[in-house]
Amino acid sequence: MKYESKLQSVQMDSLFDAILCLKNRGECYRFFEDLCTVNEIQSLAQRLEVARMLREECTYHEIADRTGASTATISRVNRSLTYGADGYSLILDRLGK
């Protein structure tokens, strides 16, 4: 079954094609440092860590203490894990292998 994103556009396709061209962590650092602000990159990393901790059934308090994420961010990530496009689950499953 093919996934149809509400975000899909020519520009988004180009962005994702660019990301898929990256070959290693060093290239990722270089590209994302040029593409995003430091705060944007840190927010993305924080959300992924929040998702991982939620899957491990950590409490909101534990997650907030360890990641510095607000309860609003934790709730948003939790909503995505429960009702989203399964992107977090896809990545967390692959990282866990």
- Residue 38 predicted with pLDDT over 90: yes
Looking at residue 3, its pLDDT comes to 82
Mean pLDDT value across residues 8-14: 96
Tokens describing residue 94: 């692959």
Question: Taking Cα atoms as reference points, which of 13, 17, 22, 88 lies closest to residue 56?
Answer: 88
- Residue 1 predicted with pLDDT over 80: no
| H/E run at residue 93 | helix 87-96
- Residue 89 predicted with pLDDT over 90: yes
**Has this prediction a pTM greater than 0.85?**
yes
Looking at residue 2, its pLDDT comes to 78
Residue 33 carries which side chain, given as an amino acid letter? Answer: E
Contact indicator for 71, 64 with CB cutoff of 8 Å: yes
Mean pLDDT value across residues 31-39: 98
Give the whole-number percent of the chain exceeding pLDDT 70. 99
Mean pLDDT value across residues 84-89: 95
